[in-house]
Structure 1
């Protein structure tokens, strides 16, 4: 091999300055192809997944809070009823905000209607007749629909009704 002037050449001549054909660097050595950085794509993908996850969680939380607010504001009408063969009974029932009320010697048949709202709409009613009672029954109605009823017989018998007044 000879150079441009016809002289024998022992080593391959480097290409002229500024020109690097075939991937040769300035020293005439082959340079490996440059790899594209992967970390920006990984970082961007991770950030996107996190943002979508946070956004999805926020949407679920907002929807759940909205449903809780609706349920807390929803009112139901609860009617408690006690009936029996005796003249009176001792009646205990739950009202608004889990308040408990009691009426002793309530004349039978006994009936009480209350309006309940808030998150806790669990209601209960218990009654006990005296020694002159033979049959005793209780019933809870929510918006006109019976959710619980029970009957008992005998002197000093007791009945207990309870249920979720918020159930659809």
Structure 2
């Protein structure tokens, strides 16, 4: 059996951990954020197509926001708060696949959906 030197082992570990080829280009993903409930309106905070937080106050429910995300490390998240009492739900769909759905209820209720 042939002995392997430390540089060869270290190179194998580094290549295994970080990959040997060039970084892949970011893919574009179509993201649909949805919020609905019986509270009438809601305030929304969500990640747009470049992973920047956006907010919308006093949006009538049901609400739908669509973005195309082409970030190399995309984040999908929406948080909504009712502007009254009631139940509120959110959903995130990425490329036609539902990634998260949540529901909450009460006074000035907050609900959050997220996916990676």
**TM-score after normalising by structure 2:** 0.81
Q: Distance in 2 between matches of 1:159 and 1:124?
A: 11
- From 106, 112, 118, the equivalent of 2:59 is 106
Q: Distance in 2 between matches of 1:91 and 1:130?
A: 11
Shift of 1:86: 1.6
Structure 2 unaligned residues grouped into runs of 5+ = none
The count of aligned residue pairs is: 109
Partner of residue 76, structure 1:
29
- Which structure has more relative contact order (CA 8 Å, sep 6+)? It is 2
Point out 4+ residue stretches in structure 1 off by more than 2 angstroms: 59-63
Tell me how large the CA RMSD over aligned residues is.
2.3
Shift of 1:134: 1.0
**TM-score after normalising by structure 1:** 0.57
SS of the aligned residue for 2:24 comes to helix
Higher strand share: 2
Structure 1 unaligned residues grouped into runs of 5+ = 1-44
* Greater C-alpha Rg: 1
Partner of residue 44, structure 2:
91
